[in-house]
Chains A and B, each alone.
Chain A
Amino acid sequence: MNQKIILSARNIHKTYAIGRTRQHVLQGVNLEVRRGEFVAIMGASGSGKSTLLHILGLLDRPDEGHVFFEKRDLFTLSSAQQDHIRSRQIGFVFQFYHLLPELNLEENVLLPLMVDSSILAWPGRRHQARQQTREIIDKVGLRPQARQLPATLSGGERQRTALARALVQNPKLLLADEPTGNLDTVAGKAILDLLSDLNRYGQTIIMVTHDPDIADRADRKLTLRDGKIS
């Protein structure tokens, strides 16, 4: 494992309005993740795990605090710079897969490469992009299903598709929000095996889970309680 810190969060605060009340979900979270680490963040339901992950992945903004990715303060960057980091540097796997229903499996995995490419640049990049996509689809074992729409895939296949999509740009950091939460035991194990394999090859992973057995797969376990990491 490379000891260099890839991500650090300082004094993260986040409050949500629920009805007329405000809930202070994150109350000064501090966190450091090293390159090549597999970190699991645990906590009860509603403890703010997903909120923290969204903030780390630039999908949400903290009310207070800083997130440094490779020493860059993410929330001081421009929108375009943040979009670029989300596109190329960070991969996100959601609990509910979040695949586009109108695109087939291969197109869903290709999507980050298309988002990252202009219309004019695409003809020159297309061949390599498709090659990259096929390699990652092979890695997750979904070549036969490449032309199928998400509605025709099983839960495990959809989550593997989502994982392939998150990895297609070789991101430096992979964030997984309850990746097995919507899967049966067998499918869930397959996903966890894939994550472990990826980490073995140097992929930095932060995974959120409420299941201690799943958290055991990680190198380090952190618990989010009362809005803080312990």
Chain B
Amino acid sequence: MSYVAVVDDEEQVRKALTRLLLASGLDAESYACGKDFLGAIAKRVPDCVLLDLHMPGMTGLDVLHELRRSRRTLPAVVITAHNEPEAREECLAAGAVAYLCKPLDDRVLLNTISASMRRASGGHAIPGER
């Protein structure tokens, strides 16, 4: 079963997205900030991460930079409640596989996660993917 991490400082959003992923047959874990997530990946590396862009302290972009610094090739889907074209370019340049605006439609979100995991695994089927 694929494991997806959700990093968002908004508790309501974090909870709802985690629920949606679980309901869709994926394993999911949520984190309230970038630091908690980066600390957790030492123990268990997710197959994909949903990363909120605007978080106090460490932003989603900071997390992407940190992942790149630590040479982790983890597919990251950036999600944001405030769409900015420049931010999109920055995130994609920093290694994000997709940039989605909230509110998130389940089909778009699940297809994006599925596609990014497929790309990361070199086109092989993802365990647990339906």
**A-B interaction:** no
